[in-house]
A and B are shown apart, each in its own frame.
Chain A
Amino acid sequence: MNLYDFCYGIIHWLVDLINHIWYWLAGLPGVFGDFFRSIGDLAASHGNISFFAIVLEAVIMLVIILINVLNFIWIDRKFMGRMFDFYGPYYVGYRIGGWLQNLADGMKLFVKEIIVPAKADRFGYLVAPVIFVGSSIAILATIPLSDKFGIFTSPTDTGVPAGVLFAFAMFAVAPFSILVAGWASNNKYTLIGGMRSAAQMMSYEIPLLLCVASVVVLAGGFSFEAVVTAQEKIWFAIPLVIGFVTFIVCMFAEVEVQPFDLPEAEAELVEGWTTEYPGMRFGLFMMTSYLRGYCAGALITALFLGGWLGPSFIPGPIWFLIKAYIVFVIVEWARWSLPRVRIDQLLNIGWKRLMPLAIVNLIIAVALKSMGWF
C-alpha cells in the first residue's frame, strides 16, 4: 500500500458519507432528483476520488516538509550556537530546546507592516516572492520520501517518469525571480544582488546538471524511484565520488549558503536582493531559503546517498530524512565556518574547476555503464 492508497481510502470514506445526503435528496421528484443523483454519481466516480486523493497527498507532503523546515531552522540555530560557544534558542519553549523560537519569530514578522517602496516597479516587486516561493515548493512535488511515500497517481505507481528533470527545472527558476526582485526594488544594492544571482547561475548550473546526467546514465531512468532502486547494491557516492563532491559544491551555490551567498552578501550589499522586502515577505524568503536547503539535502540523498535505502528496522521515509538532516548539518557546518568568495572567483571556480570535474565524472559514469557494471 502506498500513500495514494491511503488517501484514496480516506477520500472514498468521506465521499460515501456526503453521498448519503445527495442520494437522500435524489428522492425528490422530477428533474431535481436526477440532478442530485448525478452529483452523487460524479462524486463517487474514480476520477473525482483520485483527484482529491492526490490533493490530500500533496497537503500531507507539504505539511511534513514545512515541519521539517521548522526543524531545520532550529537545528541550524542550535548547531550554529554550539559552534559559536553559545546555547542557541533557549527560552521560547525551553522544555523542547527552544523549538518554538521559530514560531515566535514568524509571528513577529507577521505583524510587521508591509511596505512597497514608492519608486519600485509594483508588479515585479509583488510577483517576485510568489515566483520564488512557488517554484521552491514545486521542487518538492516529485521528490518522494520513499517508494511508498510520495505523490503518486495510482496504487502501482512508480513515481513521476521525469521527476529528476522537473525538480532541477524548478530549482533553476529561483535566480530569475531574484533578478526580478532585485531589479524591481529600484535600489542599487538589490540590483547588484540580482545581477550577481544571474551571473552565479551561469557558472554552477551546467556542472550541476552534468553531475545529474552521470547519475541518470548509471540509473537508466529519470524518476527518483529508478535512481534510488539502482543504488541497492552500492550508493552512487562511491563510484561517482568526483561527481558527488562537485554536486555538493554546486548545491552550495544553488541554495546560496555561505561560501557562495553572493546575491545577499550582507557585508557589502546590506541584505542583497532582499533589502527592500519587509515583514512577512522577508520571512517567506528566509523560510524558502531553508526549504531550498532541505531540497538540496533531499536531492543529494536521493541521487548519491541511496535515498530511502537502509536496514529495514527503520522505515524508508525516516532513513531518507535522517540522511537529508545529516547532509544539511554538513552544509551548515561549511556555511558558518567559511568566508564568502568573490563573484569573479566564483565564476572561475564554476568554469575552470567544477566544469572539467563534472565532465570527467560523466566520462567515468559512461565508462562504468558501458562496461556493464551497472
Chain B
Amino acid sequence: MAEMWINMGPQHPMTHGLWNLRIKVDGETIVDAEPEVGYLHRGIEKICENRTYTQILPIADRLCYGAALSWNHLYCRTIEDLMGLEVPERGQYLRVAALEMQRIASHLMWLAAYAADLGMMIGFIYAMRDREIFIDLLQAMSGSRLTYNYCRIGGVAHDAPPDFERDSLRACDYIEKKIEEYYDLYEGSKVFMMRNVGIGKLSKEDAMNLGVTGPPLRASGVRYDLRKDVPYESYDAIDFQPITHPDGDCYARYRVRMEEMLESCKIIRQAVTKMPKGKWRIVAPRNGPVGTGLGRVEDPRGEGMMYAVGDGTDRPYRLKIRSPIFVTVSAAKHMLVGYKVADVVAIMGGLDMCIGETDR
C-alpha cells in the first residue's frame, strides 16, 4: 500500500481542541508525523499590552479551560514578582489548596478524555462525575465553575468559605477511594494494558532535549517538579514527593498522573489543616514599576512560565507566556513514528493537550 498523509485535525475527535496532527502512514504504521498548532491563536499576549494589570486577571483564566486557576495564579505570581509584593501566609495556603484542587480536576478531565479516546465510554463518565466534587469546592471558594478568577495580585479574592476544611478533607477521602476504583476499572482491563504498555516510548534524553515538562517528563524518569525544585507559595512547608516512573510509555504517563492525584490529596490535607488565621490579601499598587517580573509554576500539564516587562504605567509593556504543551507537542514525532494509527490517540491523549494555552 502506498504511503499517504492523513490530517488528524483541525476538526477531529482525537485532537481535543483546534490543532492538526499530520501523520504519514504506510498501511496502518506511522512513518512520519508533524504537529501543526496555531489554529486557536487569539493574540492574548498582545491583548495584555492594552489592558491594565487588573484587567488581565480574567484573560489569564482563559488561557486554559482545563486548569484556569493555575494560569491565573501564574499571572499573579509574575506581577507580584514585578511589583515586589509578598502574599500573606493565609493567602499562600489558600492558593496551594486551590491549585491542588485544580490539578486533581484537570487530571480527572484528562483521565476522562483518555478513556474516551481509547473507546472506554464508562471511564469518561465516571471521571467527569468525580471531577464535579472538585469543581464544586472551587466554586465555593471562587464563585464560578470553569474560569475561577480567584487569585488577585497580592493574595486571593476571598477567604475560605464556611466548612471549607471539612469539605476538602471529605473530598480527598472520596477521591482516594475512587482512584482505587479507577485502578480496577483501567488496569484491571487487559485491553487497557495492551493499549498502553510499551506504546509511545520517549527516552529520558529525548524528553530532556526536547524541553518536555510535567507528567510526560516525569514519566520518562526525570525527577523535575517545580513545586519541589523551585518551591513557590508555601510548598516548601508541605511534605510531598514528585512522582516519577522510569518507563516513558503511555502507561507510565497514566500512572504518573494517577499517583499525582493521590499526592495532591496529601497536599490539600496538609494545606487546609496548617492554614493560619489572618489576612489573605494585601492591596497592590495601581502602577507597576519599571522592570521585569518572572513567574514559573508547575501547571498540571508541565512548566508554565510568564515574563512581564513593566514601564511604570498601569499596563505591562510586554507579557510573554511560555506554554508547556507548545513545547511538549514537538516531541510528537519522536513518540509516534513506528506505532500504529490507533496508537495516535493513546500517545497524543497521554500528553493532555490544551490548545488554549498552546496557541495563546
Contact = CB atoms under 8 A, between A and B. Distances in A.
22 contacts: A84-B121, A84-B122, A86-B125, A258-B119, A258-B121, A265-B119, A265-B342, A266-B13, A267-B13, A267-B116, A267-B119, A267-B345, A268-B8, A270-B12, A337-B122, A338-B189, A338-B191, A339-B118, A340-B120, A343-B342, A345-B194, A345-B195
B125 A85 contact: yes
Contacts, number: 84
Interface in B319-350: 340-345
A192 B120 contact: no
Given A85-B129, A268-B344, A336-B122, A341 B6 contact: no
A203 to B, nearest CB: 14
A166 to B, nearest CB: 33
Given A265-B342, A268-B344, A345-B194, A339 B125 contact: no
Nearest to A81: B125
Contacts of B119: 258-259, 261, 265-267, 338-340
A188 B6 CA distance: 7
A344 B343 CA distance: 11
A83 interface: yes
Interface in B1-44: 4, 6, 8, 12-14, 25, 28
Nearest to B185: A337
A342 B194 contact: yes
Interface string A76-114: 000010011110000000000000000000000000000
A267 B118 contact: yes
B317 interface: no
Contacts of B189: 337-339
Question: What class of interface size applies to chain A in its complex with B?
Answer: 20 to 34
B120 to A, nearest CB: 4
Interface of A: 80, 83-86, 188-189, 192, 196, 258-259, 261-262, 265-270, 336-345
Contacts of B120: 337-340
Contacts of A270: 12-13
A190 to B, nearest CB: 12
A342 B195 contact: yes
Contacts of B126: 84-85
**Most chain A Cβ neighbours within 10 Å, of B116, B118, B185:** B118
Contacts of A84: 121-122, 125-126
Contacts of A338: 119-120, 189, 191
Contacts of B194: 341-342, 345
B117 interface: yes
Contacts of B344: 268
Contacts of A269: 341
Contact of A344 (B14, B117, B192, B340): B340
B151 interface: no
B121 A268 contact: no
Interface string B99-120: 0000000000000000111111
Contacts of A192: 6, 25, 28, 341
B262 to A, nearest CB: 23
Contacts of A340: 118-120, 191, 195, 342
A189 B4 CA distance: 12
Contacts of B117: 267
B4 A188 contact: yes
- 5 A-B pairs with least C-beta separation: A340-B119, A339-B118, A84-B125, A339-B120, A342-B342
Contacts of A262: 342
Contacts of A258: 119, 121
A339 B340 contact: no
A338 B188 CA distance: 10
**Most chain B Cβ neighbours within 10 Å, of A83, A84, A86:** A84
A118 to B, nearest CB: 19
A268 B115 contact: no
